[in-house]
């Protein structure tokens, strides 16, 4: 599928989704595109039930990609054994142990379901750095983390006041997290920023090629961020992002008609959204020869790929992203 794009680099296609919450994303109107790497950024389930995991894995197995990477989200709390045990202990008096095991499985059972899906080329990533040699001849270095800031008691969460150490090394190609970095496609419907400051600082220092996530459903979209020359000691949007070179690829506002839009604009958005749904995805390419090639170390493409919508409408579109990766020796 992929061919050498420029000396020492290989054009590589990513299929990216997140937050399917137990739904079968194959319900989209269009076909599922082929890719070199498929990515699911967590919240495979709504309530972490075994049947929801089975649906998610069956759907993801249908994607035509030689490598499929999965991380957990906060709703997948049975993959976080300490959080799962705490939930069971808290509600012990009102729960029937046999019923809990039937619906949610025993400790480690949901994780085993995912491990058994390796035959479908699905790989579950724990927090940390992972290295792959792809079928297209490229190498891929991934930093993965399911952790998000929260005051609730779901899985893989940390108290905002405590922070979290996202140990992202400069030179990593792909950062794959459940939640967004602070200030990048993390606006909630209540107009609050919900991303992690610790994550933004870590990504701003590491400057990967691609950072994909979900969690904040209404933040769906993509943005190519340009960085200033050198990371500061404590990165911020003001000190580290070059606003003039940063470009929005797409947001929900570009596809959904707003109450202040003219009739012509509403019609244009509706027609574009319908056309993309027939394709089954939204695509962007940032390789040599493209209009906006990605400059590694100077730019990062951020993608919020949350599938589940906050509105009563069809699922939000998956992303297909083409970038260049280092060729294997």
Cβ neighbours for 144, distance < 8 A, ≥ 6 positions apart: 69, 71, 125, 126, 127, 128, 129, 130, 175, 176, 177
Residue 198 has pLDDT above 50, yes or no: yes
Strand segments, DSSP code E, in 81-198 are 122-124, 128-133, 139-145, 148-149, 157-158, 174-177
pLDDT digit string, tens, across residues 157-171: 999 999 999 999 999
Task: Give the pLDDT score at 194.
Answer: 93
Residue 3 has pLDDT above 50, yes or no: no
Q: Which of 64-68, 164-168, 229-233, 297-301 has the lowest mean pLDDT?
A: 229-233
Task: Give the pLDDT score at 75.
Answer: 97
pLDDT digit string, tens, across residues 98-129: 888 999 999 999 999 999 999 999 999 999 99
- Backbone φ and ψ of 320, nearest 5°: -120, 120
Percentage of the chain with pLDDT > 90?
A: 76
pLDDT digit string, tens, across residues 234-243: 999 999 999 9
Distance separating alpha carbons of residues 284 and 305, to the nearest angstrom: 13
Hey, what are 110's tokens?
């949901």
Residue 233 has pLDDT above 90, yes or no: yes
pLDDT digit string, tens, across residues 35-60: 999 999 999 999 999 999 999 999 99
Our count of domains for the chain comes to 1
pLDDT digit string, tens, across residues 123-144: 999 999 999 999 999 999 999 9
Dmax (CA) for the chain in angstroms is 64
Residue 155, domain extent: 4-326
Name the pLDDT band for 312 (thresholds 50, 70, 90): low
Name the pLDDT band for 265 (thresholds 50, 70, 90): confident
**E strand or H helix at 267, and its extent?**
helix 263-279
Q: Residue 89: which CATH number?
A: 3.60.21.10
CA torsion through residues 90, 92, 94, 97, sign: positive
Residue 27 has pLDDT above 70, yes or no: no
Residue 95 has pLDDT above 90, yes or no: no
Mean pLDDT of 296-321: 90
């Amino acid at each position: 599928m992929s061919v050498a794009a420029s000396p020492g680099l290989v054009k590589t296609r990513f299929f990216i989704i997140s937050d399917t919450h137990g739904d079968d994303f194959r319900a989209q109107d269009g076909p599922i595109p082929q890719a070199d790497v498929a990515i699911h950024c967590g919240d495979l389930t709504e309530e972490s039930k075994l049947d929801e995991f089975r649906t998610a894995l069956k759907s993801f197995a249908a994607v035509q990609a030689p490598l499929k990477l999965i991380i957990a989200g906060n709703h997948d709390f049975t993959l976080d054994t300490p959080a799962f045990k705490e939930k069971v202990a808290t509600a012990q008096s009102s729960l029937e142990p046999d019923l809990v095991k039937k619906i949610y499985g025993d400790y480690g059972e949901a994780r085993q379901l995912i491990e058994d899906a390796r035959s479908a080329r699905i790989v579950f990533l724990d927090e940390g750095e992972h290295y792959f040699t792809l079928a297209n001849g490229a190498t891929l270095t991934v930093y993965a983390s399911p952790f998000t800031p929260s005051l609730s008691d779901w899985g893989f969460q940390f108290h905002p006041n405590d922070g979290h150490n996202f140990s992202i090394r400069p030179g990593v190609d792909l950062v794959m997290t459940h939640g967004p970095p602070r200030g990048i496609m993390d606006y909630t419907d209540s107009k609050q920023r919900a991303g992690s400051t610790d994550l933004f600082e870590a990504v701003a220092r590491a400057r990967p090629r691609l950072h994909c996530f979900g969690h904040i459903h209404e933040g769906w979209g993509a943005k190519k961020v340009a960085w200033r020359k050198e990371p500061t000691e404590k990165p911020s949007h003001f000190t580290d992002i070059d606003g003039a070179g940063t470009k929005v690829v797409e947001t929900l506002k570009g596809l959904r008609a707003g109450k202040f839009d003219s009739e012509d604009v509403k019609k244009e958005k509706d027609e574009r959204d319908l056309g993309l749904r027939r394709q089954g995805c939204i695509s962007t390419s940032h390789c040599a020869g493209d209009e906006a090639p990605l400059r590694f170390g100077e730019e990062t493409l951020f993608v919020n790929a949350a599938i589940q919508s906050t509105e009563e409408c069809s699922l939000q579109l998956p992303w297909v992203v083409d970038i260049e990766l280092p060729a294997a020796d």
